[in-house]
Structure 1
Amino acid sequence: MSSDLVTVFLCGDVMLGRGVDQILPHPGDPALRERHARDARAYVELAEAANGPVPRPADFSWPWGDALQMLDEASPAARIVNLETSVTRSDAFAPGKEVHYRMHPANVPCLAAARPDVCVLANNHVLDFGRRGLEETLDTLAGAELRTAGAGTNPEDARRPAIIPVEGGHRILVFSLGMASSGIPRAWAAAGDRNGVAFVATPSDAAANEVLGRVRQVKRPGNVVVVSVHWGSNWGYGVSREQTAFARALIDGGVDIVHGHSSHHPRPLEVYRGKLILHGCGDFIDDYEGITGYENFRDDLRLPYLVSVEPDTGRLGDVRITPLQARRMRLWHASYEDSRWLRTLLDRIGRGFRSYLDAEPEATLTLRPSSVS
């Protein structure tokens, strides 16, 4: 294994809309059309009832909290997030959906505070306010000089990878796609001259081959390929055979990291043929604090993944996770006890994938290829 490793930061869903938008300097219209809430500020009140006051307005960096220092210290070559919200002033609520997320475009500095290199957009909230909402989202992110993947003005644009040049003449290629199993309506697919997301109906062999065809068109020696996939249900630790087969087919075909997300809590990690599959990263930033009913999943614990790979082979060097916890709509370092709980959980749910984590000082969890039995 070469010492010339490239490190990529990956996380799950970054949901800066709804309640989070309401604590930022430029809150948008708080109106909701949910069965249990008609005002986005209700989610702020739930968080305050659970853990104490939230500043209003909060600084743009507030929701990221301790994650920003961690990122600065790690200095990854690329930062990749799943932005699961529409960035728009539109009030055209997408019909047939129970939950809608939007962040006011003037609050985009909150996203920029984390300095993401790529925002993947193929998810089930980016068109919550229709195609005009998506158009404004794309325009706003482009205006902030933030790369995107997974959504675009037409199918070719939506499927095009984001390309990040890194030191040593290497590149990181980020493909983004979303599946129906995560709640993405088929009608959201980019088609013809209609904007939308890079949509995949099911995790089939044909779908994997289509993605791999696009990978082969652009991958060059020294490139690291990340395929970011929004798939699966919100709750539960199980991973279907079809999803596992799809992820492994991508690795077999030349993908180096499969970045899965959609579940509100982490799902298993897998090292397959020396490369990493994240079956579900869990939420990273959201307004779920104070919502009851799923406490056993400990969705207050948030995982940043620092993934180091050998760029010429794509083989995994290691994965480092320093757990965080959401309190007062901000990320704080998790306690040592919570980090140990997470290690036990990830070892248990990863047993079927034969991957186990080592505990490092200061509650950091590490997965290495040597940890796979």
Structure 2
Amino acid sequence: MAHRDTITLFLCGDIMTGRGIDQILPHPARPDLHEPYVHSALDYLRLAEAHCGPIERPVGFAYVWGMALDELVRVDPDARIVNLETAVTRCEDWDDKGINYRMNPANVGVLTAARLDCCVLANNHVLDWGRCGLEETLSTLRGAGLRAAGAGMDSGQASKPAEIPLAGGGRVLTFAYALPSSGVPGWWAARADRPGMNFLPALDDAALGRVRADVRASRRPEDFVVVSLHWGGNFDFDIPDAQRGFAHALIDEVGTDVVHGHSSHHVKGIEVYRNRPIFYGCGDFLNDYEGIEGIGATFRDDLTCMYFPVMRRDGGGLATCKLTPLRMRRFRLGYPDETDFEWLRETLRRECARFGVGVDEGDGHRLSLRWS
């Protein structure tokens, strides 16, 4: 969407296209898993079918995106940025960490079907299948024309941003970092002589200095900076003071335009600070959790949002921000029914209110932010 005065971004939370979802795509990987209780990815497909009915297979690459593709056509954002929480590999060098996600590289069409611009890789699953798996993930994305941020063949590559050119000049630079609070082990960090991810051991002055140096090394006057952070646990609406302070410092001291937070399996509160949006937790976007009872059902990890912040080109920050609520059912995104929409709307109103942000309902069961 080429506008003279603004740019529109599409952001979302975790894209998990492995395990059960990979099994319904045209080229499923071996279903073997190394989890304590589940040993085949097909079991996640069976759980979902027991919960919501039969799921066709194989499906086309566009299937899982469902109504999200219609929304992307409607909005036509200038840059599409997601957190890819799945290794794209056939490697068998799995890490004994309890949960391992992977998708067959032959299924990379599921990512290109949504015309993604940037896959953030700084998270707690991209090295599930070892450094061999990371190398194949990087090469597969590169071969498909997809930019990556937050991981690389060495620390220099892992710290570089994904550069998305904009019509009319300038770029969207996406810098991505992973934190131990999201379950990322420190030994996954990239080094000068070792592949890995862009890892911040803590939210402290040293971490802020690293981000500042990374941004200064790449930014030009017309660029927009997105800092993407995989931080915090899976289920908790609380926003730790350390996260909020770090997000503010990214805006105050680094000049960040958008803070893109993820790791929580559900949507969290949104703050607009100095007219810059802070998405503390964008929730899951694609997953295979249908039919799994427990805390996820309580926090509604089947409900998600597409986030569309519109940024002013003159440096004035956020112009508008609209959200499209969606629900994952039969491994496919669709519009929620009235009850689910109300739950998501009221949850966001409650969680955003603590930051002085209102959530208004618009046409077609879409939401928009209001702030002063």
Length-normalised TM-score, structure 1 = 0.97
Q: Cα distance, 1:372 vs. partner?
A: 2.3
User: Residue 121 of structure 2 contacts residue 197 of structure 2 at CA under 8 Å; is this kept in 1?
Assistant: yes
The answer to whether 1:341 aligns with 2:351 is no
**1:210 and 2:210 aligned:** yes
Amino acid of the structure 1 residue aligned with 2:9? V
1:127: which partner in 2?
127
Structure 1 residue 259: Cα displacement: 0.2
Q: Which amino acid aligns with 1:78?
A: A
User: Helix, strand or coil for the counterpart of 1:11?
Assistant: strand
Q: Which 5+ residue runs of structure 1 have no aligned equivalent?
A: none
Partner of 1:372: 371
For structure 2, list consecutive stretches of 5 or more residues without a partner in the other structure. none
- Distance (Å, rounded) in 1 between the aligned partners of 2:89 and 2:249: 36
Q: C-alpha displacement at 1:130, in angstroms?
A: 0.3
> Which letter does structure 2 place at the counterpart of 1:142?
R
Secondary structure of 1:71's partner?
helix
Query: What SS is found at the alignment partner of 2:108?
Result: helix
State the partner residue of 1:136: 136
Deviations 1:203-226 (A, max 9, x none): 112211210121122222221100
Match of 1:351 in 2: 353
1:55 is paired with a residue whose SS is coil
Counterpart of 1:259 in structure 2: which amino acid? H
Q: What fraction of aligned residue pairs are identical, expressed as a percent?
A: 51
Matched, 1:87 2:88: yes
The DSSP-based 3-state class of the residue aligned with 2:18 is coil
Question: Shift of residue 109 of structure 1?
Answer: 0.4
Contact 1:19 1:42 in 2 (8 A): yes
Deviation at 1:283, TM superposition (A): 0.2
Separation in 2, partners of 1:63, 1:31: 22
Partner of 1:278: 279
CA distance in 1, matches of 2:76, 2:371: 27
Quote the offset at 1:343 in angstroms.
Answer: 1.7
2:215 and 2:46 map into 1 onto residues whose CA distance is 45
CA distance in 2, matches of 1:225, 1:170: 11
Task: State the match for 2:105 in structure 1.
Answer: 105
Q: Which string of whole-angstrom CA distances, capped at 9 and with x for unpartnered residues, describes residues 122-180 of structure 1?
A: 00000000001100110111111111010000001000001111112121111011001
> Which residue does the alignment assign to 2:245?
245
User: 1:325-357, CA deviations, whole angstroms, 9 ceiling, x for partnerless residues?
Assistant: 010010011124322321211111122211111
Say whether the 8 Å CA contact 1:336–1:362 is kept in structure 2: no
Q: Secondary structure at the match of 1:81?
A: strand
CA contact (8 A) 2:87 2:127 kept: yes
TM-score if structure 2 supplies the norm length?
Answer: 0.97
Q: Which moved more, 1:348-357 or 1:68-77?
A: 348-357
Determine the C-alpha separation between the residues in 2 that align with 1:166 and 1:3: 11
List per-residue Cα deviations over 1:291-329 (Å, max 9, x = no partner): 110222111111110110012315001111111101001
Asked if 2 retains the 8 angstrom alpha-carbon contact of 1:224 and 1:314, the reply is no
Partners of 1:339 and 1:364 within 8 A in 2 = no
Partner Cα distance (2:116, 2:349) in 1: 29
Say if 1:337 and 1:361 are closer, same or farther in 2 by CA, change over 3 A.
Answer: farther
Amino acid at match of 1:172: V
Amino acid at match of 2:15: V
- Tell me how far 1:92 sits from its aligned partner: 1.3
Which residue matches 2:18?
17
Shift of 1:3: 7.0
Say whether the 8 Å CA contact 2:190–2:198 is kept in structure 1.
yes
Q: In the alignment, is residue 146 of structure 1 matched against residue 150 of structure 2?
A: no
What residue is the counterpart of 2:288 in the other structure? 287
Number of residue equivalences: 368
**How do 1:305-324 and structure 2 match up within 5 A?**
305-313=307-315, 315-324=317-326
C-alpha deviation, 1:185, in angstroms: 0.6
Q: Is the 8 A contact 1:223 1:311 kept in 2?
A: no
**1: CA distance between counterparts of 2:101 and 2:35?**
11
CA distance in 1, matches of 2:170, 2:102: 35
Q: Give the whole-Å Cα distance in 1 for the aligned partners of 2:84 and 2:316.
A: 25
Provide the rounded CA distance (Å) in 2 between the counterparts of 1:163 and 1:3.
20
Give, in whole Å, the separation in 2 of the partners of 1:308 and 1:302.
19
Distance 1:351 1:123 in 2: 28
